[in-house]
């Protein structure tokens, strides 16, 4: 995952890998903007969950690329969905992901930039 948007420290586009340290900084900035921006709240919540997951799995190294941790979390969620209803078929991860995409597109109209 390369940072194609503004970095939280430089406000300039970055082609460097987005690391766990970057995620922590983003989480702090998003938390500060939560009151005025729904997407800032969403970003802070997601970053907090990912940071907690990284701590629990030992991948919180500051140089670890965030996409590695995101992939690990998604994989674990896929295992969870497959396990939830083994007798009646798995809870569909793909269905949940498609619904999440629809929600994301609807919410993407909102401004996600903050100072």
Supply the pTM of this predicted model: 0.73
Annotated domain spans of the chain: 20-107
Q: Which residue has the higher pLDDT, 87 or 71?
A: 71
pLDDT single digits (tens) 4-60: 444 443 333 467 788 888 888 888 888 777 777 788 888 888 999 999 999 999 988
Q: How far apart are CA 46 and CA 96, in angstroms?
A: 16
pLDDT number for residue 90: 61
> Is-contact 73 50, C-beta < 8 A?
yes
């Amino acid at each position: 995952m390369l940072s194609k948007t503004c970095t939280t420290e430089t406000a300039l586009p970055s082609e460097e890998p987005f690391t766990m340290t970057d995620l922590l900084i983003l989480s702090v900035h998003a938390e500060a903007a939560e009151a005025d921006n729904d997407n800032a709240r969403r970003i802070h919540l997601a970053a907090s969950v990912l940071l907690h997951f990284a701590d629990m799995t030992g991948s919180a190294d500051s140089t670890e690329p965030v996409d590695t941790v995101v992939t690990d979390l998604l994989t674990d969620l896929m295992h969870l969905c497959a396990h939830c209803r083994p007798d009646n078929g798995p809870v569909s991860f793909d269905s949940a992901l498609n619904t999440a995409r629809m929600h994301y597109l609807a919410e993407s109209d909102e401004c996600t930039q903050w100072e």
